[in-house]
A = this chain, B = another copy of it.
Amino acid sequence: MASQQIYLGVIGVGGVGTAFLQQLSKLPNAPSLILLARSSQTLLAPTPSYSPAIPAADWATASSAPSITTSGTLSPAEVISYLSSAPGRSVLVDNTSDPKLASAYPDFLKAGISIVTPNKKAFSSDLLLWKDIFASAAAGKALVYHESTVGAGLPVLSTLRDLVATGDEVTRIEGVFSGTLSFLFNTFAPVSASGPSANWSDVVSQAKELGYTEPDPRDDLNGMDVARKLTILARIAGLEVESPDSFPIESLIPAELASLPATSEGVTEFMTRLHEFDGQMATLKEEAEKAGKVVRYVGSVDVGKKEVKVGLQQFPKDSAIAGLKGSDNIISFYTKRYGSNPLIVQGAGAGGDVTAMGVTADLIKVLERL
Contact = CB atoms under 8 A, between A and B. Distances in A.
Interface of A: 1, 23, 26-27, 141, 143, 153-155, 158-159, 162-163, 165-168, 191-192, 318, 320, 323, 325-326, 328, 337-348, 351, 353-354, 356-357, 360-361, 364, 368-370
Contact of A343 (B23, B154, B342, B361): B154
Contacts of A192: 318
User: Which of A27, A354, A368 is most buried by chain B, counting CB atoms within 10 A of its CB?
Assistant: A354
Contact of A364 (B166, B343, B354): B166
A118 to B, nearest CB: 13
A338 B347 contact: yes
Contacts of A159: 155
Contact of A155 (B27, B153, B155): B155
5 contacts: A26-B167, A162-B361, A162-B364, A318-B323, A341-B348
Given A1-B369, A339-B348, 6 more contacts: A155-B155, A325-B341, A326-B340, A337-B348, A342-B347, A345-B345
Contacts of A326: 340-341
A365 to B, nearest CB: 8
Nearest to A166: B360
A369 B143 CA distance: 12
A26 to B, nearest CB: 5
Number of this chain's copies in the complex:
2
Contact of A346 (B153, B337, B344, B357): B344
Nearest to A342: B347
Given A323-B318, A369-B368, A369-B369, A23 B341 contact: no
A338 B349 CA distance: 10
Contact of A337 (B26, B343, B357): B357
Nearest to A165: B364
Contacts of A339: 348
A369 B368 CA distance: 6
Contacts of A26: 167
A1 B347 CA distance: 33
Nearest to A142: B1
Contacts of A370: 1
A347 B343 contact: yes
Contacts of A27: 167
A235 to B, nearest CB: 18
A357 to B, nearest CB: 5
The 10 closest A-B pairs by CB, nearest first: A343-B347, A162-B361, A344-B346, A166-B360, A155-B155, A337-B353, A166-B357, A26-B167, A155-B159, A166-B361
A361 B155 contact: no
A166 B148 CA distance: 14
Nearest to A154: B343
A344 B344 CA distance: 8
Nearest to A368: B369
A354 B369 contact: no
Nearest to A339: B348
Contacts of A153: 162, 166, 337, 343
A356 B337 CA distance: 11
A158 B368 CA distance: 14
A30 to B, nearest CB: 11
B341 A354 contact: no
A328 B343 CA distance: 9
A88 to B, nearest CB: 15
User: Which of A153, A320, A325, A340 is most buried by chain B, counting CB atoms within 10 A of its CB?
Assistant: A153
